[in-house]
């Protein structure tokens, strides 16, 4: 089969790769209904994370089980499944604490930008549906695999509460899902920081009550103005740069929480400054598996429509164009059809 | 009158100072029942914080109101009061959010190592008692002013829960109060990191279930061993050095929280490392005023005895010896009688 391989910065190719097979008895092989490109795929694509060897790309997935290892008990061939980008056994103490993304057996999914993929630790990672989903729900189910679950975790880590004031830093797909999550959690005010009209529109559709286009000092001033000088109860940091993190810290009220889900690149925090700001922080790779059953319920009942975050759909063979479109910010998030 | 003035590193003198007077209508003047020396007083005493001009020392206090400003409504002359080391109006949005230590009008108390002291923002800062307390309760009431409230905040910020596993880093007075707080909050296991026999004994008296004497890699290994490799749900960082903070981060389970109350000196946090460790953090100067009514109830009902943390009592005129005793770790905490 053909799959997406990153050979170096800017060089992603759809090329011959081995068909996945069951390696461990806890593995499952799925035929992907759809895959997509993640904002985090752009770090190595842009040369900001090292690419030491050709990398099989893609960690977001949903689809149909085609083969199961001998130890797999919770899903069966033919069943439609959605899984987290973080592979976990869902039985270890960290999983039981709700932090499957720090599972003792944690692995990260790879190779999902391809027609078939191997999902290790299937019982702990996948959630199977009772029936085949309608075709139009595929994008939303796919979103649950990472970007929705990650935005949801950002809101959870930032302790979004009913009636609370939330700021979302970053208008990428995760930030937009953070807006959706905060809205579902009952936030009273959701301020999206965005300077791109299509993303602003989607943020408002997902529940943003205010848009702030300013950044840096002006962005801080605007947020303070909107919050009567107080700052936000909860801030979702969905970028991962030092600039965005400093922005987040400066707009969080004392005692407020930042949920940060952008993988930090070059972020250094001064302990004493953080101390006197009384900013609470919790971040990390999202334990999507914790939220997955609830998120799938919301999607299947058509309560939420996270799939709208995909504003470009391409055949998988055009994966290179998908990376370019996201790199150049021509697309928020690209869905790939096998 | 005479009061404690720090002139430079190692140079604290009990010398003539002006008697405090009402400056603002929200001020109160109190006659101190007792004062004490704080671990944080040692930062400038040791030259680790700058001393640009002579500093009037002392921010922990309880005693009797002798004069009130015209705007003061909640306490009256003759009443016994306890207040927070952080002065706050207790009406601004930050105070209402429970973070009086970030009050819009925040000031830090000074000049309490003296027979009389001025307490600004008295209505928002002081809690008055209904009756005169028994003499033997004075040390515990004084402890509530800072060290008990700070240990309590560390436990609150670290989200100590009934049955949870807690590690306290630092066996100074605040750390010991953190042990007491965690115990009151129902923690199932409280591991105190201490290598000083008298402090270990007091930690156990306050509710510690385990003592760990190792530090650094060995300390991490020991905590991991005691927690079945998991780490602690809640870690109270009560020192403020980079070493102690790194220790705290390494022993917190993914998704666990560090409450840090030692003023960070030279602490730099790597954003990406913190991200992948999934360590939650909340710190800062303690909003003691939030906890003060509850803490005074616990003291007055003799449910807790935080005053035992004072293991050396001196007349205020011997304040210099008090600083030396704490600096040399001959005393955990020194109580000063006017």
Evaluate if residue B279 carries a pLDDT over 90.
yes
What is the pLDDT averaged over residues A254-280? Answer: 96
A206-242 pLDDT, tens per residue? 999 999 999 999 999 999 999 999 999 999 999 999 9
What is the pLDDT, as a whole number, of residue A163? Answer: 98
CB B208 within 8 A of CB B192: yes
Token digits for B42? 């040692």
pLDDT (0 to 100) of residue A145: 97
* Res. B278: pLDDT tops 90: yes
User: Does A253 contact chain B (CB < 8 Å)?
Assistant: yes
Contact A242 B98 (CB under 8 A): no
Q: How far apart are CA A128 and CA B178, in angstroms?
A: 45
Is the minimum CB–CB distance between B249 and chain A shorter than 8 Å?
A: no
> Is residue B291 less than 8 Å (CB to CB) from chain A?
no
Contacts of A76 (CB under 8 A, 6+ apart): A65, A68, A128
Separation CA B338–CA B31 (nearest Å): 9
Cβ neighbours of residue B49 closer than 8 Å, sequence gap 6 or more: B43, B265
Q: Return the bridge partners of A177, or none.
A: none
- List, for residues B69-98, the tens digit of each pLDDT value: 999 999 999 999 999 999 999 999 999 999
pTM for the whole structure: 0.96
Q: With an 8 Å Cβ cutoff, are A283 and B278 in contact?
A: yes
- Mean pLDDT across A280-302: 98
- Predicted confidence (pLDDT) at residue B49 exceeds the cutoff of 90: no
Distance CA B98, CA A162 (A): 18
Mean pLDDT of chain B: 97
pLDDT at B324 over 90: yes
pLDDT digits (tens, 9 = 90+) for B132-152: 999 999 999 999 999 999 999
- SS3 category, B154: helix
Beta bridge partners of A163: none
Token pair, residue A235, equals: 């801030």
Both ends of chain B: CA-CA distance in Å? 11
CB contacts, 8 Å: B282 with chain A = 255, 257, 278-281
**Residue A278 to residue B281, Cβ atoms within 8 A:** no
Across the interface, do A268 and B271 touch by the CB < 8 Å criterion?
yes
Nearest to B51 by CA among B43, B40, B63: B43
Alpha-carbon distance of A71 to A177, in angstroms, equals 35
Say yes or no: A242 contacts chain B, CB-CB below 8 A.
yes
Q: Are A67 and A77 within 8 A, CB to CB?
A: yes
Within an 8 Å CB–CB cutoff, is residue A263 touching chain B? yes
Taking 90 as the threshold, does the pLDDT of residue B160 lie above it?
A: yes
The whole-angstrom distance between B4's CA and the closest CA on chain A is 26
Instruction: Please compute the mean of the pLDDT values over residues A240-246 and round it to a whole number.
Output: 96
Per-residue pLDDT reduced to its tens digit, B234-276 = 999 999 999 999 999 999 999 999 999 999 999 999 999 999 9
Tell me which of A281, A290, A291 to substitute to probe the interface with B (most B C-beta atoms closer than 10 Å). Answer: A281
Residue B261 to chain A, least CA–CA distance (Å): 8
Within chain B, strands assigned E span: 2-8, 11-16, 28-36, 55-56, 61-68, 80-83, 86-87, 107-108, 116-119, 126-128, 165-169, 189-193, 210-212, 232-237, 252-260, 268-270, 280-283, 312-315, 334-337
Q: Give chain A positions within 8 Å (CB) of B280.
A: 157, 280-282
Cβ burial of A16 (10 Å; 0-12, 13-18, 19+) is exposed
Confidence of residue A49 (pLDDT cuts 50, 70, 90): confident
Comparing alpha-carbon positions, the chain A residue that sits nearest to B157 is: A280
CB-nearest to B264 from A157, A272, A287 is A272
Q: What is the CA radius of gyration of chain B?
A: 19
Residue A10 DSSP class: T
A198 pLDDT higher than 90: yes
State the Cα–Cα distance between residues B5 and B202, nearest whole angstrom: 31
Which residue reads 């309880």 in tokens? B62
Q: For residues A280 and B282, is the Cβ–Cβ distance under 8 A?
A: yes
What is the pLDDT, as a whole number, of residue B92? 98
Q: Do B274 and A254 touch (CB under 8 A)?
A: no
| Contact between B255 and A230 using a beta-carbon 8 Å cutoff | no
Q: Do A94 and B254 touch (CB under 8 A)?
A: yes
CB contact under 8 A, A255 and B94: yes
Say yes or no: A244 contacts chain B, CB-CB below 8 A.
Answer: no
Any chain A CB within 8 A of the CB of B50? no
Q: Which residues of chain A does B228 touch, with a Cβ-Cβ cutoff of 8 Å?
A: 93
Rounded-to-integer distance, Cα A83 and Cα A94, Å: 18
Chain B residue at shortest CA distance from A98: B255
**Other C-beta atoms within 10 Å of B216: how many?**
11
Alpha helix ranges (H) inside chain B: 42-45, 93-96, 122-125, 138-144, 147-157, 173-184, 197-205, 216-226, 242-251, 271-277, 288-300, 319-327
pLDDT of residue A48: 87
What average pLDDT does this structure show over A48-52? Answer: 88
Tell me which residue of A255, A301, A320 sits closest to B290, measured CA to CA.
Answer: A255
pLDDT in the model for residue B48: 87
Q: How far is the CA of A225 from the CAs of A230, A249, A278, B140, B212, in angstroms?
A: 8, 16, 20, 43, 49
In terms of residues, how long is chain B?
A: 338
> CB contact, 8 Å: B78 with chain A?
no
* Chain A residues in contact with B265 (beta carbon < 8 A): 272
CA distance A108 to A285: 10
- Return the H-helix or E-strand segment holding A323: helix A319-327
> Which residues 1-30 of chain B have a CB within 8 Å of chain A?
none
pLDDT tens-place string over residues A144-157: 999 999 999 999 99
Q: Give the pLDDT band (50/70/90) at residue B50.
A: confident
């Amino acid at each position: 089969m053909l799959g997406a391989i990153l050979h170096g910065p800017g060089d992603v190719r759809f090329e011959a790769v081995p068909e996945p097979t069951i390696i461990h008895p806890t593995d499952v092989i799925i035929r992907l209904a759809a895959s997509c490109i993640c904002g985090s795929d752009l770090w190595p694509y842009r040369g900001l994370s090292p690419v030491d060897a050709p990398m099989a790309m893609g960690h977001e997935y949903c689809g149909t089980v085609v083969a199961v290892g001998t130890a797999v008990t919770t899903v069966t061939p033919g069943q439609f499944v959605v899984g987290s980008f973080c592979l976990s056994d869902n039985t270890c103490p960290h999983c039981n604490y709700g932090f499957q993304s720090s599972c003792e057996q944690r692995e990260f999914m790879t190779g999902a930008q391809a027609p078939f993929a191997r999902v290790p630790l299937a019982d702990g990672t996948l959630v199977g549906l009772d029936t085949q989903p309608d075709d139009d729900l595929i994008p939303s189910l796919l979103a649950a695999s990472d970007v929705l679950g990650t935005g949801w975790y950002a809101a959870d880590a930032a302790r979004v509460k009913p009636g609370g004031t939330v700021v979302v830093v970053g208008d990428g797909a995760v930030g937009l899902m953070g807006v959706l999550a905060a809205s579902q959690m009952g936030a009273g005010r959701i301020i999206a920081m965005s300077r791109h009209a299509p993303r602003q529109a989607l943020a408002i559709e997902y529940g943003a009550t205010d848009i702030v286009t300013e950044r840096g000092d002006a962005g801080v001033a605007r947020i303070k103005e909107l919050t009567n000088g107080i700052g936000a109860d909860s801030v979702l940091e969905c970028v991962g740069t030092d600039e965005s993190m400093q922005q987040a810290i400066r707009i969080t009220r004392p005692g407020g929480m930042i949920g940060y889900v952008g993988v930090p690149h070059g972020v250094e925090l001064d302990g004493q400054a953080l101390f006197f700001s009384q900013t609470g922080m919790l971040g990390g790779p999202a334990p999507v598996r914790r939220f997955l059953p609830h998120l799938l319920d919301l999607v299947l009942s058509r309560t939420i429509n996270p799939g709208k975050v995909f504003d470009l759909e391409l055949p998988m063979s055009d994966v290179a164009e998908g990376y370019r479109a996201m790199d150049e910010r021509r697309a928020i998030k690209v869905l790939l059809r096998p």
